[in-house]
Amino acid sequence: MQPWEIIQKLESDNSRLFKESVVEENIHNVDFRHGLMKALNSLVTFGVQQVPEKKDPTGEGLSWDDFESLALDLEERKLTGHAARDAILVAMAKATQEEWNDWYRRILIKDLRCGVSEKNCEQSSTWHCACVWLYVST
């Protein structure tokens, strides 16, 4: 299952137990795990204020490696200002609408919008174990 499909599944139900089970089922998906880590870790910042939604349905798809390279450059401030904006627009153009709007964009804005948050990790032992596993295994 692709990470954006997991996010869509998490959005489909408001139950905390359902969300815990979905995360636990997919925690071994490397791209999903790394994306969660980037989105939930408050120490990771990308230095961008706005990340546009993709409205154009075209796009060949953006690999996780390409996105991770962009995210690392943003984290380390190798890309700032107009260079960061332009790099994000290039990545967005390459991605499909579904993967950009439901996965990569949400990582950059640090809000997965599916009921998964750092607060969940702090309140639930199951979430906490999954999140600790995320940080330790990477």
Task: Give the pLDDT band of residue 86 (cuts 50, 70, 90).
Answer: very high
Angle, CA of 63, 65 and 69, to the nearest 5°: 120
In this predicted model, which residue has the larger pLDDT, 80 or 22? 80
Judged on CB neighbours under 10 Å (0-12, 13-18, 19+), 28 is exposed
The model's pTM is 0.87
Once rounded to an integer, what is the mean pLDDT over residues 66-80? 97
Spatial contact of 23 and 124, defined as CB atoms under 8 Å apart: no
What pLDDT shows up at residue 92? 98
pLDDT(130) > 60:
no
Q: What is the pLDDT of residue 136?
A: 52
